[in-house]
Amino acid sequence: MATTNLSSYDKATIPNAKPFRFGMVVSEWNPEITKNLEKGALEAFIDCGVLKENIISWEVPGSFELVYGCKKMIESEKVDAIIAIGNVIQGETKHFDFVCEGVTQGIVDLNLKYDVPVIFCVLTDNTKQQSIDRSGGKLGNKGIECAVAAIKMAAIKNGTLKGKPIGF
């Protein structure tokens, strides 16, 4: 569980994002949560210098469909990184477990198969309030955190993020 503000970042530590193109695949399920995550990611991208025309967004019906949506985006769009945005809230059945496990493993598989980083921005909370708190509420916005991760991973993918010597 997040205990710090998910929206905090230091622009000085973020690579130049202007040359990159990003995708977002957003679940339509729980739109009051997923649209806030998307909005946070979009605002962070723009704040970090990504051009609006270099950001594309697709919608899929639910979180389980994120994996296929990301796969199709990788295959049909030239993007440097993708954020998979969804929300699954614990209910009374095992559906939560199956969806969370499937989406998580699917995103792992995409990261292993393709040379396009797919960032996991799927809130898997016990209550709707926890999701609200993490999508622009009292704990910030996970979408912002994931946009920063996408920029850093795009820089790694493109060889523009240089390592730093470790001082002992």
Q: Which residues are catalytic?
A: 95
By the 8 A CB rule, do 89 and 53 touch?
A: no
End-to-end CA distance of the chain: 32
Gyration radius from the chain CA atoms: 16
By the 8 A CB rule, do 76 and 70 touch?
A: no
Residue 29, number of CB atoms within 10 A of its CB: 18
